[in-house]
Structure 1
Amino acid sequence: MASLSDTQFDFLQDVYMLLACIMSQGWKVTFGEVARPIEMQEIYVRTGRSKTMNSQHIPRLAIDLNFFKPTPGGGTEYVCTKEAIQGFGDYWEGLNPKNSWGGNWNSFKDTPHFQRRR
């Protein structure tokens, strides 16, 4: 099994590719959450914001992104629907079989979420 730092490095390389793909299409993107302490994950589970204590944010193998689609007037519009960012989710999952996009999950949709399984 690869070390955590090797897996994080591979994950970061794919994040770089995803960001390049997003920006090449004229979209803007900002970071949401990457690293998450266990104590914060406990709060998220307790308040219903997450369903698991096995979040890939804890080992820094997940990132939440905020997407801003270009508008005709030259501005941007925040979007987070599955339909709006499906192409980016598909691109992410195509980079590595261990990559998973939260918009394709069955039980809980988390469209800003991109992760690498160990």
Structure 2
Amino acid sequence: MTLSEKQQLFTVLIAQLINFADNNGMRLTFGEAYRTPEQAKLNAKSGVGISNSLHTQRLAVDFNLFINGEYKTRTEDYRALGEYWESIGGSWGGRFKSNPDGNHFSLEHNGVR
């Protein structure tokens, strides 16, 4: 699958995730969807991310989650979304070993999740 085809699939899967959230009483706003390579390097140096971030490939998005109007920030708050995302083929940041990132949703590419 080419990168462009994977980006198109990612977009469709994200639409499904947004619909799942909406149908289950969760509201989402976009956090970070795209990072330039320079931003990814800065985040890596500050310990926020990795320099080969899938955000630079347009294969990752961070969401802000609201339930009953309340902004949720804990990885656990995102569990239902993360499990659904995994069930449709995505990688959920809540499973990251060294730095769980519950609001991160990506599609694996070249071995990067």
Return the index of the structure with the highest Cα Rg. 1
Report the counterpart of residue 53 of structure 1 in structure 2: 51
Deviations 1:30-74 (A, max 9, x none): 001111101111111111212x2111001100000000001xxxx
Give the Å deviation of 1:95: 0.1
Letter in 1 for 2:10: F
Report the counterpart of residue 80 of structure 1 in structure 2: 73
2-structure distance, mates of 1:34, 1:59: 10
- Find out whether 1:110 has 2:113 as its counterpart: no
* Unaligned runs of at least 5 residues, structure 2: none
Aligned residues: 109
Report the counterpart of residue 39 of structure 2 in structure 1: 40
Could you say what secondary structure the match of 1:68 adopts? strand
**RMSD of aligned alpha carbons:** 0.9
* Unaligned runs of at least 5 residues, structure 1: 71-75
- Find out whether 1:31 has 2:24 as its counterpart: no
Report the counterpart of residue 68 of structure 1 in structure 2: 66
> TM-score by structure 2 length?
0.92
Give the Å deviation of 1:27: 1.6
> Runs in 1 of length 4+ with deviation above 6 angstroms?
none
Give the Å deviation of 1:82: 2.3
> TM-score by structure 1 length?
0.88
Letter in 2 for 1:16: A
Could you say what secondary structure the match of 2:57 adopts? coil
Could you say what secondary structure the match of 1:66 adopts? strand
Higher helix residue share = 2
Report the counterpart of residue 2 of structure 2 in structure 1: 3
Give the Å deviation of 1:104: 1.3
